[in-house]
Amino acid sequence: MKIRTRILWLSGTAVLAAFLLGDLFLWVLAQKSFLNEAVVKASQSAYEISDRLVWNLERNPSLEDDDIFLQYYFKNLHDDFNICVRTWPELTEIYNHTNLSMEQLLELEFDENEDYRGFQSARLDWGGSHYMIFFRQQNGRLNYYRVADISGVWDKMRGVTLCMLAISLGVGVTVVLLLSIFLKKALHPLQVLNDTTKRMGAGLY
């Protein structure tokens, strides 16, 4: 193998490896950024819904035992990502238009160290989708859950990954081509000397 070819292979491999490592680092940063953005938006929504409910219950504490009011409140939110469960005097599902059962919710391990404005959180991968479940207990009698679908983060990451790979490969190939042209000119005298030495070693003068 010619000297120029060897140097070109080594240099090209090093350039592509550097780009791929850089892509991996940026991919991790982008994933964390997208995930944090999705979680913050979801926790903000959960907080606003729960805060309005608390405000209503503080104005009229008797409503806390009124299942009809609670069903009406959550139905008027016009989304299917809220769950309300009564824990006293017995465990009763008041409102749940999601596909998650009360048993699934009770089996989740909520992270008490990861507190989003008074909410505990848990991750759930189910049915090919990724969810973040926010949970808050109201007066020890009501459990409020907010289900946030964060699958869009992975959809974004697929697009970012393809874009990063396309850019890296394009730049990498361009660098290798420019390097090839440069090495061809810079190493031409050395290649001639090397070929001449081989011919002399073979007895061809």
- Helix 188-201 with 3-59: angle, nearest 10 deg: 130
CB 119 within 8 A of CB 45: no
CB-CB neighbours of 143 under 10 Å: 20
56-65, 80-89, 101-110, 128-137: least confidently modelled range: 56-65
- pLDDT of 19 strictly over 90: no
Mean pLDDT value of segment 70-80: 89
The number of C-alpha atoms within 13 Å of 60 and in the hemisphere containing its C-beta is 9
Q: In the chain, pLDDT over 90 holds for what percent of residues? A: 11
- Asked if 94 and 71 count as a contact pair (C-beta separation under 8 A), the reply is yes
Burial 40-53 (b: 16+ CB within 10 A, else e): eebbebbbebbeeb
- Would you say residue 2 has pLDDT above 80? no
3-state secondary structure of 12: helix
State mean pLDDT over 147-157: 82
Is residue 83 pLDDT above 90, yes or no? yes
| Full-model pTM | 0.68
pLDDT at position 124 over 60 = yes
| Average pLDDT over all residues of the chain | 81
Between 187 and 27, name the one with better pLDDT.
Answer: 27
pLDDT at 63 over 60: yes
Region 35-59 average pLDDT: 86
pLDDT at position 149: 87
